[in-house]
Amino acid sequence: MTPQYVTTIYPGHILQVSRLAPLKAYGLLVATVILHFLLPVTHLLRVRNTVL
């Protein structure tokens, strides 16, 4: 098993380990944030369209 979580906990060792691991972690984080922001917006737009 590769210690992928260690790279996120210890930022100093990110460069020593592969550079793709932290990029994947940041990608997942950004994707979850975007989804959390987009889902309520689309829901509100649907409700507004049904009300109008």
Contact 25, 8 (CB under 8 A): yes
What are 33-47's pLDDT values in tens digits? 888 888 888 888 888
What are 12-28's pLDDT values in tens digits? 554 555 666 777 878 88
The residue ranges of every structural domain in the chain are 4-51
Cα distances (angstroms) measured from residue 27 to each of 43, 44, 50: 24, 26, 34
pLDDT of 4 reads 52
User: Distance (Å, rounded) from C-alpha 19 to C-alpha 2?
Assistant: 13
Confidence of residue 11 (pLDDT cuts 50, 70, 90): low
